[in-house]
Structure 1
Amino acid sequence: MDLATAADELYGLAPEEFTAARTRLAAEAKRDGDPVLAKQVTALRRPTVSAWAVNHLVRASPPELDDLLDLGERLRSAWEAGEPVAGLDQRRAGLVTALMRTASALAASAGRPLREPAAREAEDTLYAATMDPVVSDEVRAGHLSRPRRHVGFAPAAPARAPEPRQEKKTPAKAPRPSAEDRRTREEDRRAREEERRRRRREERARAAEAEADAAAEALAEWSAERDEARRECAEVTEEAGRLRERLRETLARQESLTRRLETAEREHTRAERRAAEARRQAQEARDLV
């Protein structure tokens, strides 16, 4: 067993089955003499419902998933080259919609229908996979433990591209801007600056939400770990109580048998002396006869 094999097994399970299976695989790695692998397996985090839904979708291998991830590569290249992305973005939206229908159906068939928050996180993860090659690789592997979200400017807004060209045409018509024009440009500049600040605030808010989601996931994971540890500790404590009781009984029996042995040894010694004395007296009697 290696880490990839263990991860494939664990992230193919339902979230509630994850912790017990992880404990089992870590114990197997220890028995096999691989403490490093055991530690790596233990470090794998239990998936959230949305992450499980995407992993489950990956294992179903719908053709739209490969189409989406390949489209993401073309979308990123077009965006970096400054090429139009409207058509690619439209195609992306259609693929994500189709994949979410499949993911919802698969989750419902598995007895875990996707609620609105989890469905939204799963959709965000699919969109993030088209924007971030790292997320794309994570989705392909099907080892997600938490949802992913792309924080930054997405190539899904080509309408913003013409704005700089429109702004450049304005000064050409008025080489000598009037006070009103200057005031308008200043207001536009302030508006753009405020828009940039607003976007930065939104990005920070999204990053904070992602951190909060990760913290909530860690809390759920450690809560499950704590509950399992409590259960096992209670079982061991109960077993220790039984063993202590048996030990007390055994020690009491040992003490009783020790006293019995001491009495037997003492009486045996006395009996030996009496037997020797009786034999001596009998011999003397025979001698007299």
Structure 2
Amino acid sequence: MEDEALADIADRLYAGSLDDFVAARAAAAKELARQDKDLAAAVRGLPKPSVAAWAINMLARHRQDVLAGLGELGSRMRAAQDSLDAPALRELGRERRIMLADAVDTAKSVAREQGRSISDAMASDVEESLRALTADEGAASAVGSGRLLKVVSADGVNDVDLDGVVALPGLLPATPSVRPLTAPPHDLKPGASKTPGPRSIGPKSTTPGAATARTRTTAEDSSEPKPTKPRLEAVRQGPRLASPPALERARAALAEARAAEEEALRLAGELQEQEERMRAEIAELQQQAVELRTRLSATEESLDRSRKRLAATSAEAKQAVRAPGKAGRTAMLAQERVLRLGNN
């Protein structure tokens, strides 16, 4: 079974739609079954990723620059841990929080473009995996492979267990060293090629028979089954500098934890001050509300008295309107009486 062929098929499956994954996997296995049953069985065994893992795979496929930026930040954080540089860790921790928030937003956007929305719970899983990318090289290789199956976590001290986390962990790309060389190797001279030539294993022969024998030997060696590498060895195929002793790594983790604690205390202090200001504002508004209610009550009482005076005035006005007519009739009767008395 060709590992490269399996990796290519897996890459196509994990780069596709999550809803169509099972159908696409079955179709690929059915097509391969006619030619290579072992490869077809391996394809059928490829697990379907979780929604959060699929979103990260989409990010790896469509926005590799985001993962590259987080990977570079992780290298700087590990360097600061090794040197126990607490101020640098504090600053890098703040930078990581900003970059993780932006990366999660980008993952949501990419997922929407691919026809799937990401909930807040899934976004938390995405952030956890991206945080692991900055803390561990194995996690970085798994997240960047585009074949992630589920959430990956890292504590920055112990190596991440990738069992069941990524498809085909033995075929992950090599992880570059976190610390670039400050000078070229001693066996390279200025102007010389950095690509090493083939190494000579025995005396160099110039006869055609010797060349043919070497070619046959090489072909036979390449046809022999290669021993299965341990999972972590397969994950980290590239050169990696020796990790610091356990005590130094623990001290580095302690320095990062203290830096995070200081930052948390600072944020807590700012939030407490903000809380006190808001409480003072609320108390002032409550006092204003009491005063306004008092004024409203007094105004309502005044309004009620005015309405009563208006009713009394209206009644008096009606009587006043009727008074002239009554007085006119009285005057008319008095005039008639005067006329009658005058005629007698």
Give the TM-score, by structure 2 length: 0.43
Identity of aligned residues (%): 33
Separation in 2 of the partners of 1:151 and 1:159?
15
Separation in 1 of the partners of 2:102 and 2:121?
18
Deviation at 1:31, TM superposition (A): 1.6
2:39 to 33, 37, 42: 37
Gap change, CA 1:35 and 1:76, over 3 Å in 2? farther
- Aligned to 1:147, what secondary structure does the other structure show? coil
Separation in 1 of the partners of 2:47 and 2:97?
30
Q: Does 1:130 align with 2:130?
A: no
The aligned counterpart of 2:245 is: none
The aligned counterpart of 1:145 is: 149
Counterparts of 1:50-61 in structure 2, within 5 Å, are 50-61=52-63
Larger radius of gyration: 2
Q: Does 1:157 align with 2:278?
A: no
Q: Does 1:24 align with 2:124?
A: no
- 1:168-209: CA deviations, max 9, x gaps? xxxxxxxxxxxxxxxxxxxxxxxxxxxxxxxxxxxxxxxxxx
1:71 to 64, 73, 77: 73
- Aligned to 2:33, what secondary structure does the other structure show? helix
Gap change, CA 1:8 and 1:160, over 3 Å in 2? closer
Deviation at 1:111, TM superposition (A): 2.6
The aligned counterpart of 2:13 is: 10
Higher mean C-alpha deviation, range 150-159 or range 140-149: 150-159
Once superposed, which parts of structure 1, at least 4 consecutive aligned residues long, lie more than 4 Å away? 151-156
- 1:74-101: CA deviations, max 9, x gaps? 2123213322311222222221111111
The aligned counterpart of 2:100 is: 96
Kept in 1: contact 2:90–2:260 (CA 8 A): no
The aligned counterpart of 1:286 is: none
- Aligned to 2:49, what secondary structure does the other structure show? coil
The aligned counterpart of 2:296 is: none
- 1:103-150: CA deviations, max 9, x gaps? 111222223111111111011010011112111001111111111122
The aligned counterpart of 1:218 is: none
The letter of the residue matching 2:98 is: G
Kept in 1: contact 2:49–2:149 (CA 8 A): yes
- 1:192-246: CA deviations, max 9, x gaps? xxxxxxxxxxxxxxxxxxxxxxxxxxxxxxxxxxxxxxxxxxxxxxxxxxxxxxx
What 5-or-longer segments of structure 2 have no aligned partner? 158-252, 263-344
Gap change, CA 1:68 and 1:27, over 3 Å in 2? same
Separation in 1 of the partners of 2:113 and 2:260?
42
The letter of the residue matching 2:152 is: R
Kept in 1: contact 2:135–2:155 (CA 8 A): no
Separation in 2 of the partners of 1:36 and 1:42?
10
| Count of aligned positions | 161
Q: Per residue, is there more helix in 1 or in 2?
A: 1
Separation in 1 of the partners of 2:142 and 2:127?
15
1:108 to 109, 112, 124: 112
Deviation at 1:63, TM superposition (A): 2.5
2:121 to 117, 121, 134: 117
Give the TM-score, by structure 1 length: 0.51
Separation in 2 of the partners of 1:36 and 1:71?
41
Deviation at 1:47, TM superposition (A): 0.8
RMSD: 2.3
Deviation at 1:156, TM superposition (A): 4.7
